[in-house]
């Protein structure tokens, strides 16, 4: 069991005094001291396996030696000069590399930013500039970020939009296929077809498709609870979009860089997205995001429509080049498939044993366990979900949840089978402890999550 002293509690109390609550969703009192590979050590000396990867950022693990080396080497040369005014080699090299590895054998251009929110927002701006249309279609439960534009196209929760008044106009939300809890039919069968009908109805009754600039989507809806639609859904949707000149924006901020067992989750489809937003894992934790899109789209808007002083920072670009090399050299995409398949299999065995596991779903190492009160009603068991995460932390595993009841399984892609087995043992005993009522209700005061 982890041990926490006043060392940790003092920092947390101090933080509550100085930091805005808007910046944090509390899980457990873990103050990071150091991290390496799949492990995080807190300031008390407790060690944890990391099944969160800083929210799908650390695909190459913590402090991969190669990333560490290039960042330190670069830090001795120069820390920053804005690429908006001057050139630097890693910036150009990274743009070239992203064009090479992202889907689409056509002329592309790249623009860098700092966070995923800004990349998603920029993708929308580029689509509007190119098509000269205003309307955008997005999905309920989608998470694209918290800046004004990215929030406007996010349908994650009403809480995140509260008291913001009118956001960006002309955004239309449609349901995302959910094969477990389809909001459009009771049987969950062919949920994606119901969603397509809904989109057709939108175009027939609310907005003409000729006025729609783009549809923005997550190839796997991440924060919405790891929803994996059938490939037919997006293939069919693409046909509708192609007919009406609507651009497809894939938000790969969470799914990119090997997370789902493909370098990019969009590779599952028969079409190539017109614009791809990248972030999170791109630079192994150094701040960076990017938009990669067809050249003609990116040439349709001029400076300074997407220009930020610290975007394309040289340390971040070096870290990103190293990240891509590591993913290729260490076959991390294949590892995501191997370990991910193993985990899904083992979670399904757990599902046979524990009634509270309503559903196991995911791709690669982006896996969700839906915790329910009753398998027939599928009512979310928010308290049990929180308690499972809490007990996992107490026994050496960083495990978070989202969408209230979905355990979020996203370890670094470098994880070995042995490490994965150990982590799954921790999760299994946490579930068993919670089922047996061995985790007190008191913990619910501390763990809030999202
Ligand atoms: C799909 C997706 N897009 C955009 C974002 C926003 O990224 P950031 O928090 O770096 O702004 C996230 C973050 O969770 C995300 O999951």
Residues 79, 19, single domain; the answer is: no
Alpha carbon distance 75, 31 (integer Å): 26
The vertex-158 CA angle with 153 and 162, nearest 5°, equals 95
What average pLDDT does range 106-123 have in this prediction? Answer: 98
Ligand 1: centre distance to CA 429 (Å):
31
What is the tally of structural domains in the chain? Answer: 2
String of DSSP letters for 316-363 = HHHHHHHHHHHHHHTTHHHHHHHHHHHHHHHHHHHHHH-TTEEEEEEE
Q: Which of 383, 55, 372, 389 is nearest to 222 (CA)?
A: 55
pLDDT band at 431, cuts 50/70/90?
very high
Between 60-69, 187-196, 220-229, the lowest mean confidence (pLDDT) is in 187-196
pLDDT averaged over the chain?
97
Q: Which domain holds residue 205?
A: 66-329
Q: In this structure, is residue 215 part of a structural domain? A: yes
pLDDT bucket at 442, cuts 50 / 70 / 90: very high
| Cβ-based neighbours of 76, under 8 Å, separated by 6 or more | none
Looking at the predicted structure, is the pLDDT value of residue 188 above 80? no
CA of 280 to the centre of ligand 1 (A): 7
pLDDT tier for residue 124 given thresholds of 50, 70 and 90: very high
Report pLDDT for 187. 79
Q: Is residue 368 part of a domain?
A: yes
| Same structural domain, 22 and 55 | yes
Residue 216, ligand 1, Cβ within 6 A: no
The pLDDT-based confidence of 22 (bands split at 50, 70, 90) is confident
pLDDT of residue 21: 86
Residues 6+ apart with CB under 8 A from 337: 261, 364
Does ligand 1 have an atom closer than 6 angstroms to the CB of 254? Answer: yes
144 lines ligand 1 (CB under 6 A): yes
Give me the mean pLDDT over the 14-28 stretch. 91
Q: Does 310 lie in the same domain as 346?
A: no
Residue 115 CB less than 6 A away from ligand 1:
yes
Question: Which strands form 39-42's sheet, in the order they lie side by side?
Answer: 32-36, 39-42, 47-50, 397-398
Give the other-Cβ count within 10 Å of 242's Cβ. Answer: 12
**pLDDT band, residue 23 (cuts 50/70/90):** confident
Q: Whose CA is nearest to atom 16 of ligand 1?
A: 254
Residue 118 CA, ligand 1 centroid: distance in Å: 9
**In Å, how far from its chain's centre is CA 194?**
25
Clarify whether residues 294 and 324 are in a common domain.
Answer: yes
**H-helix or E-strand containing 110?**
strand 108-113
Domain boundary among 277, 294, 329: 329
- 289 and 304 in contact (C-beta within 8 Å)? no
User: Which of 303, 329, 355 finishes a domain?
Assistant: 329
Based on the domain organization, do 128 and 187 belong to the same domain?
Answer: yes
Give percent of the chain with pLDDT exceeding 70: 100
Give the number of C-alpha atoms closer than 13 A to the C-alpha of residue 218, restricted to the C-beta side: 33
Q: Cα(230) to centroid of ligand 1, in Å? A: 23
Q: Are residues 397 and 262 in the same domain?
A: no
258 falls within a domain = yes
Residue-wise pLDDT for 218-243, tens only, equals 999 999 999 999 999 999 999 999 99
Enumerate long-range contacts of 417-422, CB under 8 Å, 24 or more apart. Answer: 417/338, 417/339, 417/342, 419/38, 419/49, 420/339, 420/342, 420/343, 422/49
279 lines ligand 1 (CB under 6 A): yes
Q: Which residues contact 16 (CB under 8 A, 6 or more apart)?
A: none
Ligand 1 mutation pick, 138, 141, 144, max ligand atoms within 8 A of CB: 144
For residue 189, the domain's CATH number is 3.40.640.10
Q: What atom in ligand 1 is closest to the CA of residue 289?
A: 10
pTM above 0.85, yes or no: yes
Whether residue 149 is contained in a domain is answered as: yes
What is the C-alpha separation between 427 and 399, in angstroms, rounded? 9
Q: Which atom of ligand 1 is nearest to the CA of 119?
A: 4
Strand 289-294 and strand 108-113: pairing?
Answer: antiparallel
Same domain, 319 and 351: no
Residue 222 Cα to ligand 1 middle (Å): 9
- Index of the ligand 1 atom closest to the CA of residue 145: 6
Can you say how many angstroms the Cα of residue 368 is from the centroid of all Cα atoms in its chain?
Answer: 12
Residues 348, 307 within the same domain: no
Which atom in ligand 1 lies closest to the alpha carbon of residue 147?
11
pLDDT of 109 over the 80 cut: yes
Check whether residue 224 and residue 315 sit in a common domain.
yes
450 part of a folded domain? no
Q: Separation of 223 CA from ligand 1 center, angstroms?
A: 9
pLDDT one-digit tens code per residue, 166-181:
999 999 999 999 999 9
- Residue 383, pLDDT > 90, answer yes
- Ligand 1 neighbourhood includes 143 CB (under 6 angstroms): yes
- The pLDDT, as a whole number, for residue 273 is 98
Length in residues, the chain? 450
Gap from CA of 124 to ligand 1 centroid (Å): 14
- 315 confidence band (pLDDT: 50, 70, 90): very high
Instruction: Please report the DSSP string for 363-382 in residue order.
Output: ETTEEEEEEEEETTTTEE-H
189 has a pLDDT exceeding 80: no
Judged against a pLDDT cut of 90, whether residue 311 lies above it is answered with: yes
Per-residue pLDDT at 34 exceeds 90 = yes
Give the integer Cα–Cα distance in Å for 372 and 438: 18
Residue 89 lies in a domain: yes
User: How far is the centre of ligand 1, averaged over its atoms, from the C-alpha of 148 (Å)?
Assistant: 13
Nearest to 215 by CA among 200, 225, 231, 230: 200
216 and 288 inside one domain: yes
Residue 42, strand partner residues: 32
Question: Could you tell me the CATH number of the domain that includes residue 371?
Answer: 3.90.1150.10
- Give the residue, out of 253, 278, 402, 410, with the most ligand 1 atoms within 8 A of its beta carbon, to mutate for a pocket test: 253
Instruction: Flag whether 1 is in a domain.
Output: no
Q: Does 107 score more than 80 pLDDT?
A: yes
* Probe target for ligand 1 pocket from 59, 221, 254, with the most ligand atoms within 8 Å of CB: 254
Q: Is the dihedral of CA 335, 144, 91, 268 positive or negative?
A: positive
Residues 6+ positions from 283 with CB-CB distance below 8 Å: 316, 317, 319, 320, 323
Q: Is the CA virtual torsion 398, 404, 409, 412 positive or negative?
A: negative
* Inside any domain, residue 294: yes
Q: Is 251 in the pocket of ligand 1 (CB under 6 A)?
A: yes
pLDDT at 24: 87
The answer on pLDDT for 439 being more than 80 is yes
Q: Are 429 and 399 in contact (CB under 8 A)?
A: no
- 3-state secondary structure (DSSP) of residue 416: coil
pLDDT tens per residue across span 325-336:
999 999 999 999
Decide which of 268, 298, 329 is a domain's last residue: 329
Task: Check whether residue 321 and residue 183 sit in a common domain.
Answer: yes
Nearest-atom index, ligand 1, CA of 251: 1
How would residue 386 be classed by pLDDT, with cut points 50, 70 and 90? very high
Q: How far is the CA of 309 from the centre of ligand 1 (A)?
A: 20
Q: Are 286 and 354 in a shared domain?
A: no
CA–CA gap between residue 40 and residue 315 (Å, rounded) = 23
* CA count, 13 A, side-chain hemisphere, 346: 18
Indicate whether residue 102 lines ligand 1 (CB < 6 A): no
Whether the CB-CB separation of 335 and 413 falls below 8 Å is answered with yes
């Amino acid at each position: 069991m982890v041990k926490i002293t006043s060392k940790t509690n003092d920092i947390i109390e101090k933080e509550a005094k100085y930091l805005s609550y808007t910046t944090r969703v509390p899980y457990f009192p873990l103050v990071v001291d150091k991290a390496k590979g799949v492990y995080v050590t807190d300031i008390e000396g407790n060690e944890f396996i990391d099944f969160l990867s800083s929210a799908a950022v650390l695909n190459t693990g913590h402090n991969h030696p190669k990333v560490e080396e290039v960042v330190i080497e670069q830090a001795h040369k120069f820390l920053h000069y804005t690429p908006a005014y001057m050139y630097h080699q890693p910036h150009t090299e990274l743009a070239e590399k992203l064009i090479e590895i992202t889907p689409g054998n056509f002329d592309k251009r790249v623009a860098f930013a700092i966070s995923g929110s800004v990349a998603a927002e920029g993708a929308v701006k580029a689509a509007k500039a190119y098509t000269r249309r205003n309307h955008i279609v997005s999905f309920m439960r989608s998470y694209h970020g918290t800046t004004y534009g990215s929030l406007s196209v996010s349908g994650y929760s009403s809480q995140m939009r509260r008291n913001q008044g009118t956001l960006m106009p002309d955004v239309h939300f449609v349901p995302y296929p959910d094969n477990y809890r389809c909001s459009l039919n009771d049987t969950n069968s062919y949920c994606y077809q119901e969603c397509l009908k809904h989109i057709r109805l939108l175009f027939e009754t609310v907005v003409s498709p000729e006025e729609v600039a783009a549809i923005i989507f997550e190839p796997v809806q991440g924060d919405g609870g790891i929803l994996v639609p059938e490939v037919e859904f997006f293939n069919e949707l693409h046909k509708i979009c192609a007919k009406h000149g609507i651009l497809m924006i894939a938000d790969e901020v969470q799914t990119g860089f090997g997370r789902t067992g493909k370098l990019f989750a969009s590779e599952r489809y028969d079409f190539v997205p017109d614009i791809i937003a990248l972030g999170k894992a791109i630079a192994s934790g150094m701040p960076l995001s990017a938009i990669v899109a067809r050249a003609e789209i990116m040439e349709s808007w001029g400076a300074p429509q997407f220009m930020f002083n610290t975007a394309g920072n040289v340390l971040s670009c070096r870290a990103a080049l190293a990240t891509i090399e590591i993913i290729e050299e260490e076959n991390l995409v294949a590892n995501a498939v191997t370990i991910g398949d193993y985990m899904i299999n083992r979670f399904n065995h757990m599902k046979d044993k524990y009634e509270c596991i309503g559903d196991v779903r995911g791709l690669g190492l982006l896996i969700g366990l839906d915790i329910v009160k009753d398998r027939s009603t599928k009512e979310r068991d928010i308290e049990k979900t929180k308690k499972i995460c809490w007990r996992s932390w107490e026994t050496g595993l960083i495990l978070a949840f989202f969408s209230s009841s979905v355990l979020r399984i996203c370890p670094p892609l470098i994880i070995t089978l042995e490490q994965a087995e150990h982590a799954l043992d921790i999760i299994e005993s946490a579930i068993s402890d919670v089922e047996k009522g061995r985790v007190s209700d008191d913990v619910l005061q501390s763990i809030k999550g999202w």
